[in-house]
Amino acid sequence: MTGTARARRKAERPGEILDAAFEEFVLRGYEATRLEDIAARAGVTKGTIYVYFENKERVFEALVRDLEKSLREQIEPFFEDRGEPTAQSIRADLTMLYRVCANDRRGRELLRLLIAEAVRFPDLVDEHYRNLVGPMFERLGQRLRRGAAIGAFRDAPAVNFPELLLGPALSLHIWKLLFSDRKPIDAEQHFEAALDLLLRGLLPPNI
C-alpha cells in the first residue's frame, strides 16, 4: 500500500468506526454496546478506536454530531429559501422535511438514540436543539408569520406554533421506528393527507 493510500485509509477510519458504532448502538443501545463490538464490526482493533476517540462516550457524541450534520445538509435548501412564503412554497418546505423524516433511517435512529439517552447526555440534546431543531422551527415560524402578514395565510393560531405543522412528520417518524413492520404506512399518501389538513387550516376561506 502506498503512502497516499495509507493516508487515505487513515482519514476514512473515523467515519468507518462511526458507521459501525451507529449499527451497534441501534442494535444494542448505548449501555449494552461495547467498544469491542464496534471494533469487530468496523474490522479494527479496540486499540484503533482509542487512537481517534477517548472512550465510548466520545464515540456516541461524535456519532450524534455526524448524524446531525447529515440532516442539516439535507434540509439546507429550506434554510436558504428567501422567497415570499405562499401555499405552494410552504407545501414544498413541508414535503421536503416530511420526506427526510420518512426516508432517512439514520435520522430516525438519531431521534431514538437521543430520546433513550437524554438523561445521560443532556448537553448533547441541548446542542442538537440549538444547532438543528430550534433553527428549523424558528425559520418555519418566520415564514408562516410573513405569510400571514402578506395575506397568503390566515392569521391563525397555528402561525405561532410551527411545531404543529411538523406534528404529522414526527408521528410518521415514530410510527416507522416502532410499528412499520406491523402496519406499514404509505409515506406519500400520509404526506398528502397531512398537507391537505394543514394547508386548508391556514389558507384564507376564499382560496
16: domain CATH number is 1.10.10.60
CA distances from 53 to 21, 28, 64, 150 (A): 12, 20, 14, 51
Residues 159, 72, single domain; the answer is yes
Residue 58 lies in a domain: no
Neighbours of 20 (CB within 10 A): 21
What are 131-181's pLDDT values in tens digits?
A: 999 999 999 999 999 999 999 888 888 888 999 888 888 888 888 888 888
- Residue 5: pLDDT above 70? no
Neighbours of 68 (CB within 10 A): 19
Residue 103 lies in a domain: yes
Residue 85 lies in a domain: yes
Residue 3: per-residue pLDDT:
53
As given in the structure block, the three cell numbers for residue 78 are: 429550506
In which domain, by residue range, is 159 found?
Answer: 63-202
Residue 98: per-residue pLDDT:
86
Residue 90 lies in a domain: yes
Residues 127, 43, single domain; the answer is no
* C-alpha to C-alpha distance for 148 and 143, rounded to whole angstroms: 9
Residue 79 lies in a domain: yes
* Confidence class for position 206, pLDDT limits 50, 70, 90: low
Residue 122 lies in a domain: yes
What are 70-100's pLDDT values in tens digits?
A: 999 999 988 988 889 998 898 889 888 888 8
Residue 109 lies in a domain: yes
- Residue 207: pLDDT above 60? no
| CA 53 from centroid of its chain's CA atoms | 24
Find all residues with CB under 8 Å of 107, minimum gap 6, and list them: 67, 70, 71, 74, 100, 101
Number of domains the chain contains? 2
Residues 11, 77, single domain; the answer is no
What are 21-53's pLDDT values in tens digits?
A: 999 999 999 999 999 999 999 999 999 999 999
Of residues 170 and 5, which shows the higher confidence score? 170
